[in-house]
Each structure stands twice: as structure tokens, then as C-alpha cells.
Chain A
């Protein structure tokens, strides 16, 4: 089973991101689960969401404590939440930031990090406002590239079912797929 934990703030779309990723994996004939762990439902509050992907039926309904991947929709959460808690030794952290992935890997004390300026990608594609861009579709596009867990096409197909701005969101995923950088120069 592949387990992915999302950290975002209320209003950024972490919960929808967990569902888009699950939907993409589901399109590739996997069993999946996507679910949020809400604190209080309000804008700006830290939100955690989970996606589980497996090629056999998933019965485990517990939250994720040892993720293979951690996806951080906003870099400021790094100082607010223990984002790397339980991360598997060879796990990867994907962060929405302009910073260099080698530097981020060192700062977080992890072996592998990937960085995407999803905020810029969202603004370029007119998703949300300049002050509150919706970065979730961009970050899932970046995740497809750095993890190889799902194909870009599956992510795009999942996004195209969104009720609003589907094409702009799909383009954000494609852009982020092309621009994401991984530590170690990969």
C-alpha cells in the first residue's frame, strides 16, 4: 500500500487534492481511500488529508502514521506542524515553495524532497485569487511527476471531472508536472 499525507490550510484544497489523487489512482484500477482529518472547519486552520492506494482491497480505516509521501500545500506549515512525522526512511516530501529542493531536504532532515512553486502556477492559471491561490491541482500534477505513482493523464482526467474551471486546473497540473524539481539534481 502507498500512503500519502497532505498538509494544507483550510481553503487551500488539501481535501480535494487527496480526492483527485485517489481518483487518478482509481482510474488506473487501484483500490483507494481519500479522507480528511479536520480540526475545526475554518479558513487558514491546518488541515490534514490522506490518500491510500493499493492493488488489493483496502480494509484498514485508520489514519496514516507512516506515510510514503508527504505533500505540503503551504511552506509556513513546516514550522507549525510536525510535517515529517513518521515519514518512511526513503519517503519523499513535496513542498509548495520557490526554494531549492536540496536545501529543503536538509532543512526538513529528509533524504528526498521535491519543490514546486504551485502558488505561481495557480496564479498563472487564474485559480483562486492572488492572495489566496488554489494550489491543490498543481501540486497533484507535480506529485505525479516526482512519485510515478500515477500518470499525468490520470491526474488530468480526474481534474477534468471538477465542476468548475476544470481546464484551467488541468493546465495547472500539466505546468507543475513540467516544472517540479527534486533534490539530488534529478
Chain B
């Protein structure tokens, strides 16, 4: 294993190389562009044996990836924001066709207003497609996850596409030390992709053709079952990776100092990495706080959320985007697991860091303070869903 200074985008390209992705159809978009450039370099340098397919849009990129997967090739692509939105139709296709394409998405705000900065709207809008979703907090996790995601997605019981999320700029353009595993070790971990059914001109079969109402529902139920089965596989793959590398991402959820915690902040991406530092500081002051970082959004880690629910007084859910008319998406996801659960803890939604606003340690501390206060006294003037740090005075100025 060699430690190298890599940006999130370079770590992504290395992940695809080490996973021995064979077909890379990709279309560039800020801030994902350097992933595409780096993969093209790795192929031209002869370090990566893959077919790079230049396409005219993200829709075509995903369509080519699905087709490649249908022939039995390992397919990988990357995109961001509007590019992912344009892929939407084909993400649905990839899931239904049971083609385990792995897609890295650099989380970026949707316009207008135009923005290239970190925001989770793009990925949250794809929750219903049938794609497995991984979320990362650092560049090591990105590289490792590209490899792990192929293993999960391509498992014969699963056969669903996977989306790996990494924050724009906070990861995509940030250089940090990353352990680059040996190819030989990765090969032992990740066997070649070998689906049961392949598109083969010498042995013609139909893929994705019309089914009548009696059959369609059966197909969808099988998809649902596979998605549910992915939970145990994700935990298992995480353990296997830990045995090989010493690195675990918590299986279905990354829980940091949650064991005896009374107040938890739950959220996704880089802001939760920053939050872990704050938890250490507050623990030193005797505060019982912890971080639950979203690692897998689909399938949702309901068991882990309920495990926490049984132990804590309150969960503050941080959303780096919003579902208009229905609160933050993660807030909805968490609350949905608590309704049929005995003695659910108090929950509150913090909408924060939208469109690349920096989330700094002081903000995290303020959220914990607020959570403790409202758990005791009830939602204040700001209510159940608090857009943290708006310029309208709704957040104390000294806490912004």
C-alpha cells in the first residue's frame, strides 16, 4: 500500500482503475471534470485497461454504461448535479435492467440560481430510482467505496446500480493523504464481473422488453427484495474490507461516540467529519454527544436509526438540501423509521450548508446547544424545521 496525496476526484479515478472498470462512458461537468480527465489519462498511460467512450450527454453516458454492463463488462461513470438529473431516466433503467453500473456523483447544487458548490439536492432527488447510495466524508472513503460498491452491486443476489456521493470541492478538489491499495489485494477482494445473463449476438436474448401486468409487479418485488438484501451484504463487505485494510466505514452507518450519547446529530458528507472534532471537544467538557453519519441512504439503515432511537434523548437531523413542502429529506427518512417505534426520541431538522455554505465547528456546537434546549423546552419560534444561519435574523448572529 502506498500513501499518496490525492483529491477526491483523483481518488475516484484510482478507485475505478483498481476496480478494473472496463467501460467508462462519461461526460464532463464541474466539479466532476477532473475525474473524467484523470481516467482518460490513466487509460492513455496504459495503467488502466478500459474503453473510454466519449458521449454527448450524461443521459448517453448512463445508457452506454447500462449497455456495457448488459454485455458483461464492468461499467463505471461519474457525474454531478444537473448531469445526474439528466441521467435520471437511465438510472431507473439501470435498476430495472439489473445492471450494476457504479456512478460517482460529486454533490453539487441544482440551479438556478447557478451554483457549482456542495449541496445534496442532486442525489436526494434520486432516492426512488432503485440505485444503492453510498455517502463519503473523505477521499480515502471514496477510493475504498468505489471498490466496495462494485462488489455489493454486482453480487448475484443484488444486481443493482450504485451511486457514490462526495461533496463538491470539500472532497472533489481537496488533496489529502490516501492509501492506495495494491492491485493484487483488490483483485483478491473483488472478483471479475460475471453476470449470469449477457447480451451476446451469437446467443440472442431479449432484455428489458414488454411484460404484461401480471409479471411487472413480480419484477418490482424482486428488485425490492434485492435492495433489502443489500443491507447485510454491505455490512459483510465492510467487514471484509476492514480485515484487508484495517478500514471500516461502520457497515450501514458510521456512528461516532454514540454508545452513551444523549444528543446525536445525524447527517451526510464532509460536514459530519468536521462535526466529529466538535464532539471530541464537547466530550472533554462532559457533554454526552455523538455523530451518526449517513453512510448508506438506499437501502435506508432503519435498524441503525432505531438502535440509536432506543438510546438517545434527541436526534438533530442536518440536511444539506431541502424537499420543498416536506422538510429536509434525511429528516423525513429518519422520522419515518420512528413512527412505528416505541418511545421515539425528540427530533429536529436543521437545514444547513446549502449551496456550499461552509459548515464550521461553531455551527455544530450551536446545533447541539439548540437541540438540548428544544428537547427540554419544545420547539421555539423557529419551529421543527430550522434553516440554520439565514440572514433574516432567525439564527443568533454570534452563532452564524
Q: Report which A residues bind B (CB closer than 8 A).
A: 19, 22-23, 26, 31-38, 41, 58-63, 65
Contacts and interface: CB of A to CB of B under 8 A. Distances in A.
Given A22-B5, A61-B270, A35 B174 contact: yes
A32 B171 CA distance: 13
B174 to A, nearest CB: 4
Nearest to A31: B177
Given A31-B177, A60-B277, A62-B361, A23 B270 contact: no
B175 A34 contact: yes
Contacts, number: 61
Interface in B167-196: 167, 169-171, 173-177
A123 to B, nearest CB: 28
A62 B358 contact: yes
Given A19-B5, A36-B169, A61 B177 contact: no
Contacts of B271: 61
Contact of B173 (A22, A35, A58, A59): A35
Given A32-B5, A65-B360, A59 B277 contact: yes
A35 B169 contact: yes
Interface residues of B, number: 24
Nearest to A41: B30
B235 to A, nearest CB: 24
Contact of B170 (A23, A31, A34, A61): A61
26 contacts: A22-B175, A23-B175, A26-B177, A32-B177, A33-B175, A34-B5, A34-B174, A34-B176, A35-B170, A35-B173, A35-B174, A36-B173, A38-B116, A38-B173, A59-B273, A59-B274, A59-B277, A60-B273, A61-B137, A61-B138, A61-B271, A61-B273, A62-B359, A62-B360, A62-B361, A65-B360
A138 B43 CA distance: 33
Residue of A22, A32, A33, A37 contacting most chain B CB atoms (<10 Å): A33
B5 A38 contact: no
Contacts of B173: 35-36, 38
Given A33-B174, A33-B176, A61-B170, 18 more contacts: A19-B5, A22-B5, A23-B175, A32-B5, A33-B175, A34-B174, A34-B176, A35-B175, A36-B173, A38-B169, A59-B138, A59-B276, A60-B277, A60-B361, A61-B138, A61-B273, A61-B274, A62-B361
